[in-house]
Amino acid sequence: MKDFVENYINEHKAALESIPVEEVDKVISTFQKALKEDRQIFVFGNGGSASNASHFITDLGKGASDFTYRRFRCLSINDNVSWITAIGNDYSYDDVFLRQLQNYARPGDIAFTMSVSGNSPNLVKAVEWCKQNQVHVIALVGAKKGKLAELADHTLTINSTHYGRVEDCHMHICHMICYAFIEKKELQVEPK
């Protein structure tokens, strides 16, 4: 087992090294602009990425917002089980994010999605709607990239297809975004 653990750690280090620093920087700037313009940020994904979405929104809406001049208007659209199951039952599981965004999202808002494969039909359908309605799209994906990478305004790719490592790296990126606002004084004040 020791060899397995050591190998896992080494491959995780390689995945971490693939985090695109310039793209993370651009995303932080996009969040800074969203904060200034009082835009909404919607985060969503499936499975482990759904858990990451909830975790990220908690850190952004509570943690980072405790340090900024204005609170982030952010929501994980994974978290209303009643709404998701009603949409899935009455329409289609492929519509569970799309139909929520149709209720909430406005031009200039941000859709932030995470997917290891980049091809989940419910994510792709939601992002296609976002692109048609001037909602800025940020996608965190794995090495296969998928359709989300083609559609997004910003794509951050982790060079791995291992679900655990990619999801972990996506959460590293989410923490970097939040902690930029928690730890960098220049991000805590309204830009001129």
Residue 30 has pLDDT above 90, yes or no: yes
Higher-confidence residue of 10 and 191: namely: 10
Percent of the chain with pLDDT over 90: 96
pLDDT tens digits, 122-153: 999 999 999 999 999 999 999 999 999 999 99
Residue 144 backbone dihedrals phi, psi, to 5 degrees: -70, -20
Query: Pseudo-torsion of CA 144, 146, 150, 151, nearest 10°?
Result: -140
CB neighbour list of residue 78: distance below 8 Å, 6 or more residues apart:
43, 44, 45, 50, 53, 54, 84
pLDDT reported for residue 14 = 97
What pLDDT, on a 0 to 100 scale, did the predictor assign at position 192? 76
Whether residue 190 is predicted with pLDDT greater than 90 in this model: the reply is: no
Q: How far apart are CA 180 and CA 70, in angstroms?
A: 15
The per-residue b/e assignment along 81-94, b for 16 or more CB within 10 angstroms, e otherwise, is: eeebeebeeeeeeb
In this predicted model, what pLDDT tens digit does every residue of 40-97 receive, in sequence order? Answer: 999 999 999 999 999 999 999 999 999 999 999 999 999 999 999 999 999 999 999 9
C-alpha distances in Å from residue 108, one per residue of 45, 51, 142, 167, 180: 20, 25, 26, 27, 22
Query: Over the stretch 153-181, which tens digit does the pLDDT of each residue have?
Result: 999 999 999 999 999 999 999 999 999 99
Over 80: is that where the pLDDT of 29 sits? Answer: yes
Name the more confident of 140 and 2: 140
